[in-house]
A and B are shown apart, each in its own frame.
Chain A
């Protein structure tokens, strides 16, 4: 059996001029699901919470603590919605990617441009959102953009530039470092999730019973770890940019996160 696992997300249909891929469908699905769950959690809030409300409160409090403990009370509270959404979205998308129906299980026929005319190919209807570099790159771009904005907002333009150019000779290194953060954030998440998906697919084709379950269990763990790493790194970058020059501790945190 030939295992078909392309790096790129496949286009399912066109919405006007926009080619809609299977990972775009999944991410929209995740967004809708999360909004509904959040609405259900807070639509009738009680001072004495039920279990469902308590669970969300726990999640929010955990993420707020993470954010505030790392970046300080002021900055942490401001960037908390972004950090929390990174975690919640990535976790949900990763775990949803493990569900039957998402990934290579439900196939649809689409016409694809081939060497001569069009060709009918079978592609999965849904693809784990983070198994698409566009998704992870979008989040990484957002994350590092907010890091720069936070740096400017807290230290001022002069402080930000001074931070970037100290010592002056290392300015290009700093710039490359910032850009590499985008790539590392995006590629790490994409690689883990895409790799996991391929791994599980391969396992299914090799040993269809029991063994894939073990790898699915591991994927549950990896999905959580990647969500945590992405949000922790984002908040650490923000903390570094707003604190103004504690590069060493940041590098350590960076290294530890890898």
Chain B
């Protein structure tokens, strides 16, 4: 032992020196470095997570945007279709109304015409009768033999019959 130089004092000295170094390096090196490494790892992890989150958000926004666009397009098409349908319906309605109105007016006019003609006819008939009598009186009053008178009346009546 002595030859090898081992002695308790030196051994203890070296043990204490080394233990001090373990303690000192723990405080000065390992702890701060490991904390820093952990912190950096945490930062990187968080950074990557944030990036993934941001990408996901962007994708979601893109999806949302596309969905909205599709919705808007569909809505627009619906509106156009509805409008077209409505206008078509309106057109039909107006057309129908116009047709009905026209028919109604034609019918009314026709009725009015018929009435007027009938009225005119009846008036005319009355006048013709009056006139006939007047003419007859005048003719009779001037000179008329029996044969002529008969012929006249017969003709008149025949004609009047035709007028009817």
A residues contacting B by CB (< 8 A) are 6-9, 18-21, 23-24, 27-28, 30-31, 34-35, 38-39, 41-42, 45, 47, 49, 56-57, 60-61, 64, 80-82, 84-85, 88-89, 129, 132-135, 137-139, 141-142
Contacts of B5 in A (CB 8 A): 6-9, 21, 132-134
Contacts of A34 in B (CB 8 A): 21, 24-25
Q: A60 to B14, Cβ gap below 8 A?
A: no
Identify which of residues 1-52 in chain B touch chain A, using a CB-to-CB cut-off of 8 Å: 2-7, 9-15, 17-22, 24-26, 28-30, 32-34, 36-37, 39-40, 43
Chain B residue nearest to A42 in the complex (CB): B32
- Pick 26 A–B contacts, CB within 8 A, sort by A: A7-B4, A8-B2, A9-B10, A21-B10, A24-B13, A24-B14, A27-B14, A27-B17, A31-B17, A34-B21, A34-B25, A35-B25, A38-B25, A41-B33, A42-B28, A42-B33, A45-B36, A64-B34, A81-B25, A81-B30, A132-B5, A133-B5, A134-B6, A137-B6, A138-B14, A142-B15
Contacts of B34 in A (CB 8 A): 60, 64
Query: Interface residue count for B (Cβ, 8 Å)?
Result: 33
Knowing A8-B4, A60-B29, A81-B30, the reply to whether A35 touches B24 (Cβ < 8 A) is: yes
A41 to B: closest C-beta gap in Å: 7
Knowing A7-B3, A57-B36, A57-B37, the reply to whether A38 touches B29 (Cβ < 8 A) is: yes
Identify which of residues 38-78 in chain B touch chain A, using a CB-to-CB cut-off of 8 Å: 39-40, 43
Number of A-B contacts (CB under 8 A): 121
Q: B11 to A138, Cβ gap below 8 A?
A: yes
CA distance A55 to B6 in the complex (A): 36
Of A18, A30, A129, A141, the residue contacting B9 (CB under 8 A) is A18
Contacts of B13 in A (CB 8 A): 18, 20, 24, 27, 134
Knowing A24-B14, A134-B13, A135-B14, the reply to whether A85 touches B25 (Cβ < 8 A) is: yes
CA distance A129 to B9 in the complex (A): 15
Knowing A9-B5, A42-B32, the reply to whether A28 touches B17 (Cβ < 8 A) is: yes
CA distance A18 to B13 in the complex (A): 9
Contacts of A18 in B (CB 8 A): 9, 13
Contacts of B7 in A (CB 8 A): 134
Residue-by-residue, is B120-154 near A (CB-CB < 8 Å gives 1, otherwise 0)? 00000000000000000000000000000000000
Q: A89 to B4, Cβ gap below 8 A?
A: no
Contacts of B26 in A (CB 8 A): 81, 85
Knowing A47-B43, A85-B18, A88-B25, the reply to whether A137 touches B36 (Cβ < 8 A) is: no
B residues contacting A by CB (< 8 A) are 2-7, 9-15, 17-22, 24-26, 28-30, 32-34, 36-37, 39-40, 43
Chain A residue nearest to B12 in the complex (CB): A138
Chain B residue nearest to A8 in the complex (CB): B5
Of B21, B32, B33, the residue contacting A89 (CB under 8 A) is B21
Q: B18 to A60, Cβ gap below 8 A?
A: no
Q: B30 to A60, Cβ gap below 8 A?
A: yes
Contacts of A20 in B (CB 8 A): 13
Contacts of A35 in B (CB 8 A): 21, 24-25, 28
Chain A residue nearest to B21 in the complex (CB): A31
A180 to B: closest C-beta gap in Å: 16
B12, B20, B28: which has the most chain A beta carbons within 10 Å?
B28
